[in-house]
Amino acid sequence: MGGVQTTGTLTLAAAPIGRTEDASERLRTALAEADIIAAEDTRRLRRLTADLGVDPAARIVSYYDANERARAAELVEQLREGRDVLVITDAGLPGVSDPGYRLVTAAIEAEVPVTVLPGPSAVTTALVISGLPSDRFCFEGFLPRKAGERSARLASLAEEPRTMVFFEAPHRLTAALEAMAAALGADRPAAVCRELTKTYEEVRRGPLGELAVWSADGVRGEITVVVGGAPERSGDADLGELAEEVERRAKDGIPRKQAIGEVAREHRVQKRVLYDAVIARKTAR
Give the pLDDT confidence score for residue 4 in this predicted structure.
Answer: 58
Percent of the chain topping pLDDT 70: 96
Binning pLDDT at 50, 70 and 90, where does residue 11 land? Answer: very high
SS3 of residue 171 by DSSP: helix
What's the alpha-carbon Rg for the chain, to the nearest Å?
24
Please say if the pLDDT value at position 79 is more than 80: yes
Total number of residues shown for the chain: 285
The DSSP bridge partners found for residue 225 are 166, 192
Element (H, E) at 3: none
> What are the DSSP E strand ranges found in the chain?
10-13, 36-39, 59-62, 85-88, 114-117, 137-142, 163-168, 189-194, 202-207, 223-227
Give the pLDDT confidence score for residue 98 in this predicted structure.
Answer: 86
- Closest C-alpha among 184, 177, 237 to residue 204: 177
Binning pLDDT at 50, 70 and 90, where does residue 3 land? Answer: low
Rounded to an integer, the average pLDDT of 119-144 is 96
Instruction: Encode pLDDT of 179-208 as tens digits.
Output: 999 999 999 999 999 999 999 999 999 999
- Architecture per CATH, domain 123-227, reads as 2-Layer Sandwich (3.30)
Give the pLDDT confidence score for residue 47 in this predicted structure.
Answer: 96
Give the pLDDT confidence score for residue 1 in this predicted structure.
Answer: 44
- Closest C-alpha among 143, 232, 219 to residue 183: 143
- Dihedral, CA of residue 92, residue 94, residue 95 and residue 96, to nearest 10: 0
The DSSP output letter for 103 is H
Instruction: Encode pLDDT of 218-243 as tens digits.
Output: 999 999 999 999 987 644 568 888 88
Averaged pLDDT of the chain: 92
φ, ψ of residue 194 in degrees (nearest 5)? -120, 135
SS3 of residue 203 by DSSP: strand
Instruction: Tell which wins on pLDDT, 113 or 239.
Output: 113
Give the pLDDT confidence score for residue 237 in this predicted structure.
Answer: 63
- Pairwise CA distance, residues 124 & 165, whole Å: 9
Instruction: Encode pLDDT of 252-278 as tens digits.
Output: 999 988 888 888 877 777 777 888 888
Give, in order, the Cα–Cα distances in Å from 147 to each of 71, 115, 152, 153.
33, 38, 9, 10
Rounded to an integer, the average pLDDT of 91-103 is 91
- Architecture per CATH, domain 10-120, reads as 3-Layer(aba) Sandwich (3.40)
- Pairwise CA distance, residues 103 & 7, whole Å: 15
